[in-house]
Amino acid sequence: MTAIREKVQQQISHIPGPYSILALSMGGMVALDWAQHASEGEIQNLVLINTSSGFSPPWHRMRPAAWPRIVQLLTRRELFDREADILRLTSNGKPDLQTMKHWYSIQRQRPVSLHNAWQQLKAAAAYQPLNRRPLPDALLLASKRDRIVHWKCSEKLEQRWQWTLKVHPAAGHDLPMDDPQWVIEQVRNWLIV
């Protein structure tokens, strides 16, 4: 995770801080790692969506039912079908053709190799944050019906560090795709408090 975090920090080094970070899934792990290694005041706000950490058991971090589908996705050759299947796994809504075409276009322009995808899965599985709380508060958003990461992973972070947790009753792993307005409302309400 350290190498990924450092690459992200390098890529945004031209943007002045402090930073407010909203991150989903493995991006949440990268953001949490950054917050734990940040200098005082570098991270102003942290919103983590459907993320996990070594504080949760492996079967919550990656639900066992998701593994066969993920392996199948990694080995699928046809890009459009693979991206459509990823959307079907990560979203509890019904992704439209336009969205599928958009994700297919991104994959064609910036392909993720099988090797890189496997390396990312290994990094996510191995991620263990430090014990110390990086910020006094952060917003944790989780989906009760996430088919990849159990919402209790966010609950573990809430319990460990007394952060704010909001749970969506029906959205999938890609909560911002399934209910963007709910995400906006939760972030807005949290920032106002």
pLDDT in tens, 69-99: 988 888 888 889 989 999 999 999 988 899 9
Question: What's the whole-number mean pLDDT along residues 6-24?
Answer: 94
Task: Please name the helix (run of DSSP H) or strand (run of DSSP E) that holds residue 47, with its range, or none.
Answer: strand 43-49
pLDDT in tens, 110-147: 988 888 888 888 888 889 998 999 999 999 999 999 99
Residue with tokens 């090797």: 115
CB 50 within 8 A of CB 175: yes
Helical segments of 76-179, H only: 79-90, 97-109, 114-126, 152-161, 175-178
Stated pTM of the model: 0.92
User: What is the CATH architecture assignment of 16-22+42-192?
Assistant: 3-Layer(aba) Sandwich (3.40)
Q: Which residues contact 55 (CB under 8 A, 6 or more apart)?
A: 129, 153, 156, 157, 160
Q: Where are the domains of the chain?
A: 16-22+42-192
Tokens 């492996």 correspond to what residue? 58
- Judge contact between 26 and 126, C-beta under 8 A: no
